[in-house]
Amino acid sequence: MGGCFSDLKGGLDAVGGSAKPQQNELNDAVAGFFQARGLQGLYMPLQLSLSASKLQDMDVFSKSDPMAVLYVKKQDGKLEEVGRTEVIQNSLNPAWITKICINFQFEMVQNLVFRIFDIDTKFHNTPVKSLQLNDQDYLGEASCVLSEIVTKQDRSVTLKLQKRPGMAHFGSLMVHAEETVASKQAVELILHCTHLENKDTFSKSDPFIRISRTVEGGASVPICKTEVINNNLNPVWRPVTLTTQQFYSKENPLVIECFDFESSGKHVLLGRIDASIAELQRLNRERVGTNFYVNQHGHRKVLKGQLFVDKFDEKTQYSFLDYISGGFELNFMVAIDFTASNGDPRMPQSLHYIDPAGRPNSYQQAIIGVGEVLQFYDTDKRFPAWGFGGRTRDGVSHCFNLNLLPMEAEVVGLEGIMGAYSTALRSVSLAGPTLFGPVINRAAEIAAHSLSYSQNKYFVLLIITDGVINDPNETKDAIVRASDLPLSILIVGVGNADFKEMEILDADGGRRLESSTGRVATRDIVQFVPMRDFLGGQVSIVQALLEELPGQFLSYVRSRDIKPLFAQQLS
C-alpha cells in the first residue's frame, strides 16, 4: 500500500465520506481503482422494462412470438447490442419480464434503438442469446435517447414502432427505467479513538482512518478515509458518510484501519478492526469501544487503542436521477470569446473561421457537444448566449447579447445559438482584453434571480475562450460568490495558448478558491478543459467537461436539504 497515499496534499484530506467541506481530493490510486472498474463519476446502473402493444401479427395460425433487443447507436452509426428480453409466445401485447441493464452516463448522449422480432416456433428451445436475428421476422424498431426517459417524471416513454423510417406505425413500445440500486440508504458516522500507539519520536502520531470493503478472494477495496489529525492519540474525526453503493449491505465485512500519516506515503499501521456496518451500529448503541489489533508473527495481538462510534445515523440519499426525473432543470448558458487573438474570422486559420463546407470550428464543436447533452434537461430550450471581448456598435463589451438584441439574451435551441454566433461574427469586430468577470456575474445574477421563484433550477454556464484571462482577481471573486448559487461553470480552452492560469480556477487540486477579499469558495463549481488535450483521444471533451457536473449539482442540493419533487410532495 506504499503508493496508495503518495502525495502529501491529497493524502492529508478525507476521501469518500467526509463532511469536511474542502480539499477532499480522492487519491490517485483509489481513483484509478474505481476507474478501472468503470465506477468513476456517478455510476448509475439502470434497468429497462419493456412492453409493447398492437404488434403486427406475422403468424398464420396464432399470434406473433415477440422478443425485444436493445442496441446502443455508437458515434460512427454502428449498433452495439446491449441485451435481449425473453420470447413471449402468442402475444401482440407483450410485457417482457427480463429487464435489460444499461449504465446511464450523464456526460454522453446515449442513443438507444429497440428492435422487435417474431421468433419462429422452431427456435423456441434455443437460448435467446444464441438466436440468429436474421432468421427471425422483423416486427419493427423504435429509438430514443436515454436521457429522454430519465427526465420524465415516471421515467417512462412510449415510442412508435416502425419497420423503416418514414413508414407506417406497427404498434408501440413502452420503456420504463429504474435504478438498480435498490436502496439509497446511507449512514453517517462520527468515529473517535482512544489510547492510540505513539509512533512518532518528537511528537504524537498523526492518525487517520481508512475503511475498506472486503471483496471475494479476501482482497479489500478502500471506500473512504478520514482527514489526518495531527499530533493526537485520542482523535475525533469529522463525520463520514457511507452509502450502500459503497458498503453493499450492513452485514458485509469491512476492514477499519488506523494509520499514522507519514508524508513519505509509508503510513504506519496503528491497528485494524474487522467489523460490518451492523457491528458499528451496535458499538454506537451500546456506547462501547472495540480494540484494535495487529498481526504479529502470525498471531493476533490485541492493542490498548480503541475505536468508538459517537454517532450512527441512517438517512436517505437521493440520486442525481431522482432530482432530474423529479422536475429539476439544468439550464444551459453560453459565453463566447470575441477577443482579437482568435484571428480574423474571414481567414481559414482563425479559430472563429466558419467553414463553408460545414466543418464546425472549435467554438461550434464545444457548443454542439455540450449543448446536445444538456438540452434534454432544459424544458423550454431557451438559452442565454453572450459574447465577450468584442467591439459592438456601442464600443468594446465584456458581456453582450450574442443575438445583438438590446434586452433579450435568450435564443431558442442549439440552432438559435449557432445562428446568433455566425451573425455576431459578421457584425462584431474582435477586440480584447479577455475578461470573465462580467459574464460570470451576469450568469450569477440569473441564477440568483431564479431563487425567488423556483428552487428547482440549476444553471450551467459554458465559457469558450482562446486565451488567458486578464482579470484573474475579478474572475476569482465572481466564482467564489457564485459558489453559493445554483451554478456550475464549464470552461473550454481552444487554440494553443498556455492555459496554466486557468487551472487555478478549477479547484481540483484540492485547494479552495479564495477571492481577493478573503472570501473562500464553499464548493468547486468550475471545470476547465483545454480542447487540444482531447484531439484524437479516447475520451471526448464533452465527457471530460460534464463528468463532475452531477456531483456539483448534488453538493448544492444536498447541503441545502433540497429534496426531489416527489419527496417535497410527500413531506
User: Which region among 24-32, 132-140, 158-166, 248-256 touches another protein (by CB under 8 A)?
Assistant: 24-32
Q: How far is the CB of 188 from another protein (least distance, A)?
A: 4
According to the binding rule CB under 8 A, does residue 478 interact with another protein?
A: no
List, as one string, the DSSP characters of 182-226. ---EEEEEEEEEESPPP--SSS---EEEEEEEE-GGG-EEEEEE-
All cell numbers assigned to 410: 435568450
Q: For residue 282, give Cα distances in angstroms to 44, 182, 183, 275, 277.
A: 31, 24, 21, 10, 9
User: Which region among 108-116, 431-439, 444-452, 466-474 touches another protein (by CB under 8 A)?
Assistant: 444-452
Q: Which amino acid is at 258?
A: C
Q: How far is the CB of 34 from another protein (least distance, A)?
A: 5
According to the binding rule CB under 8 A, does residue 232 interact with another protein?
A: yes
Q: Which of 68, 150, 525, 542 binds another protein (CB under 8 A)?
A: 525
Q: Which of 61/453 has CB closer to another protein?
A: 453
The alpha carbon dihedral of 548, 551, 557, 563 has a sign of positive
C-beta separation of 147 from 109 below 8 A? yes
Q: Which of 372/484 has CB closer to another protein?
A: 484
According to the binding rule CB under 8 A, does residue 23 interact with another protein?
A: yes
According to the binding rule CB under 8 A, does residue 6 interact with another protein?
A: no
C-beta separation of 486 from 451 below 8 A? yes
Instruction: Tell me the C-alpha distance between 12 and 27, whole Å.
Output: 10
Q: Interaction with another protein in 49-78: which residues (CB under 8 A)?
A: none
According to the binding rule CB under 8 A, does residue 305 interact with another protein?
A: no
Q: Which of 288, 514, 537, 539 binds another protein (CB under 8 A)?
A: 514
Q: How far is the CB of 121 from another protein (least distance, A)?
A: 48
Q: Which of 99, 152, 163, 238 binds another protein (CB under 8 A)?
A: 238
According to the binding rule CB under 8 A, does residue 511 interact with another protein?
A: no
Q: Which of 298, 395, 518, 536 binds another protein (CB under 8 A)?
A: 518
According to the binding rule CB under 8 A, does residue 200 interact with another protein?
A: no
Three-class DSSP category at 284: helix
Q: Which of 4, 15, 48, 157 binds another protein (CB under 8 A)?
A: 15
According to the binding rule CB under 8 A, does residue 230 interact with another protein?
A: yes
Q: Which amino acid is at 441?
A: N
564 upstream amide cis, omega within 30 of 0: no
Q: Which of 112, 139, 146, 229 binds another protein (CB under 8 A)?
A: 229
Q: How far is the CB of 30 from another protein (least distance, A)?
A: 8
Q: Which of 188, 372, 410, 471 binds another protein (CB under 8 A)?
A: 188
Q: Which residues contact 129 (CB under 8 A, 6 or more apart)?
A: 84
C-beta separation of 82 from 70 below 8 A? yes
528: left (phi over 0), alpha (psi -120 to 50) or beta: beta
Write the binding mask 244 to 263 for another protein: x where contact by CB under 8 A, - elsewhere. Answer: --------------------
| CB-neighbour burial class of residue 265 (10 A; exposed 0-12, middle 13-18, buried 19+) | middle
According to the binding rule CB under 8 A, does residue 272 interact with another protein?
A: no
State the angle between helix axes of 362-374 and 413-427 in degrees (0 to 180), rounded to the nearest 10.
160
φ, ψ of residue 312 in degrees (nearest 5): -140, 105
Q: Which of 520, 533, 566, 568 binds another protein (CB under 8 A)?
A: 520
Tell me which residue of 434, 422, 432, 431 sits closest to 352, measured CA to CA.
422
Element (H, E) at 320: helix 320-325
The alpha carbon dihedral of 242, 248, 252, 254 has a sign of negative
Q: Which of 378/506 has CB closer to another protein?
A: 506
What is the distance, to the nearest Å, from the Cα of residue 261 to the centroid of all Cα atoms in its chain? Answer: 31
User: Which region among 9-17, 95-103, 263-271, 404-412 touches another protein (by CB under 8 A)?
Assistant: 9-17
According to the binding rule CB under 8 A, does residue 31 interact with another protein?
A: yes
Q: Which of 382/519 has CB closer to another protein?
A: 519
Q: Interaction with another protein in 310-329: which residues (CB under 8 A)?
A: 313, 315
According to the binding rule CB under 8 A, does residue 43 interact with another protein?
A: yes
Q: Which of 19, 144, 174, 269 binds another protein (CB under 8 A)?
A: 19
What does the binding site for another protein look like in residue numbers (CB under 8 A)? 15-26, 31, 34, 39-41, 43, 186, 188, 227, 229-232, 234-236, 238-239, 241, 313, 315, 448, 451-452, 481, 483-484, 512, 514, 518-525, 548, 551-552, 554-555, 558-561
